[in-house]
Amino acid sequence: MATFALVDCNNFYASCERLFRPNLKNQPVVVLSNNDGCVIARSQEAKAVGIAMGAPLFKIRTLVEEHGVAVCSSNYALYGDISERVMTMLGSNAPSHEVYSIDECFLDLDNLGVPDLTAWCSSLRQRTYQWTGIPVSIGIGGTKTLAKLANRLAKKSAKAGGVIDLAHHPEWIDTALRKTPIGDVWGVGRRWSQMLEERGMVTAHDFAHAQDGWIRQKMGVVGLRTAHELRGYICHALEDQPQPKQTTCCSRSFGATITDKSQVHDAVMQFAERAAEKVRSADQVAGAMQIFIRTDPFNANAPQKSLSGSANFPQPTSDARAITGTATRILERIWRAGYAWKKAGILLLDLSAKGSAPPSLFDAIASPDDGLMTAMDQINAKYGRGSVKLGLAGKDRDWSMRRENLSPSFTTKWADLVSVRVG
DNA sequence: TCTGGGGTCCTAGGACCC
DNA sequence: TCTGGGGTCCTAGGACCC
């Protein structure tokens, strides 16, 4: 039998914001999505005053003022950096591990030679806090889904001390399943939990005991795997080798809607450059691309439109010139005037490792590698993103993102280092 | 006035082939 | 006159995750 642990950072983005701003300790803190749109992270205190996950800022203004909630724009450079510290710390303690998301990591606890896993995890939890300043909770189970479920209970339970081990206490599993609402099971989202609740299955326990044939028919093999995992059968192995990405996307909502074609083009060019950069940094090339633009679905009064178009590259590429050029041609092809555009994006598809594709007959002619992209990447790595770019985007940006409450880049920008005056 | 961004996997259905 | 069945590949859309 395998033993999985899931280490999950508590209120991760809110905890990051607090790290360098001790005055926020024990205060309600929320972090907003891009454009300062809606709440994507809340400290415990913010949850306690009734701020919902995903709530748009304009709907919680009153709560914010009443309770003095600290409101932060999201600062992904900071969160990414702190995440790396936490993951490095965890990886050095459990060599076999899988970084599952920016704030979660699965550990393989077998073969660690540890007699008491609960004690070991408690001390890991403590050290993580001491070394990184980030509080975590740990759930242990025989499958990833059970480890997730244990983690959720560890977060909620006051007496658990942040760690719950279902793997070595099989007698707790039944109660744990009964205590878990179906919608809180990993792999059961909004649609499925509604469907299951309508049929009287309201807890993980109900679902785990449903009939395989029925689950397969209603939820496919994906749902069936979740049910099996709840019963203790492993369907999701630990993936300690990160898989190369198959697609990369760069998309944004605009700060305000735009109708002007050249502005939409500007935005698409910037996203295309950024997407190309991402692909290059993973040493990949793209075989195809797609761009899309769409209006604001929340504005019931405006005519709605969603346009997209795609193209294949003659040879897989990561060259920003090829990618922006193709993006321009696609936009030209799909453009329709008369709409208020709110969001645009580009997807690079069919990614493969650079150099893995069989060379084409025309390679030498079609893709001269003149080193320009490499040079640009090096300069941007040294002097900061966007220091050099293709001369494509104009200066008037009506569409730029709103970030009115951005915290300093404490760990990634020299100018934002915290200074401490002594004496 | 103001509602995120970046991914994965699976399935159904159509085109096409023999 | 008879009007099949099995396979692959691709795409769009829907579910999920953080």
- pLDDT confidence of residue A368: 60
Q: What is the mean pLDDT of chain A?
A: 91
> Which nucleotide's C1' atom has the smallest distance to the CA of A346?
B6
Q: Is the CB of A159 under 7 A from strand C?
A: no
- pLDDT confidence of residue A371: 86
Location of each CATH 3.40.1170.60 domain in chain A: 12-77
Location of each CATH 3.30.1490.100 domain in chain A: 248-383
Q: pTM of the prediction?
A: 0.92
- The predicted-structure confidence for A369-396, as pLDDT tens digits, reads as follows 778 888 888 888 888 777 888 776 555 5
Q: Is the CB of A343 under 7 A from strand B?
A: yes
Location of each CATH 3.30.70.270 domain in chain A: 4-9+79-230
Q: Is the CB of A414 under 7 A from strand B?
A: no
Q: Is the CB of A302 under 7 A from strand B?
A: no
- Residue recorded with tokens 């975590």: A136
CATH number for the domain formed by residue range(s) A248-383: 3.30.1490.100
- pLDDT confidence of residue A407: 80
Using pLDDT thresholds of 50, 70 and 90, give the confidence band for residue A10. very high
Percent of chain A at pLDDT exceeding 90: 78
Residue nearest to nucleotide B2 (CA to C1'): A58
- The predicted-structure confidence for A321-373, as pLDDT tens digits, reads as follows 999 999 999 999 999 999 999 999 999 999 999 987 666 655 555 556 778 88
Q: Is the CB of A253 under 7 A from strand B?
A: yes
Gap between the Cα atoms of A140 and A170, Å rounded = 11
Q: Is the CB of A247 under 7 A from strand B?
A: yes
Q: Is the CB of A278 under 7 A from strand B?
A: yes
> Whole-angstrom distance between the N-terminal and C-terminal Cα of chain A?
58
Give distance CA A423 / C1' B6 (Å): 47
CATH architecture of structural domain A4-9+79-230: 2-Layer Sandwich (3.30)
Alpha helix ranges (H) inside A108-164: 117-132, 144-156
Which class is domain A12-77?
Answer: alpha beta
Give distance CA A220 / C1' C3 (Å): 34
- Residue recorded with tokens 């220091």: A387
What is the H or E stretch that residue A47 is in?
A: helix A44-48
- The predicted-structure confidence for A14-39, as pLDDT tens digits, reads as follows 999 999 999 999 999 999 998 899 99
Gap between the Cα atoms of A269 and A290, Å rounded = 13
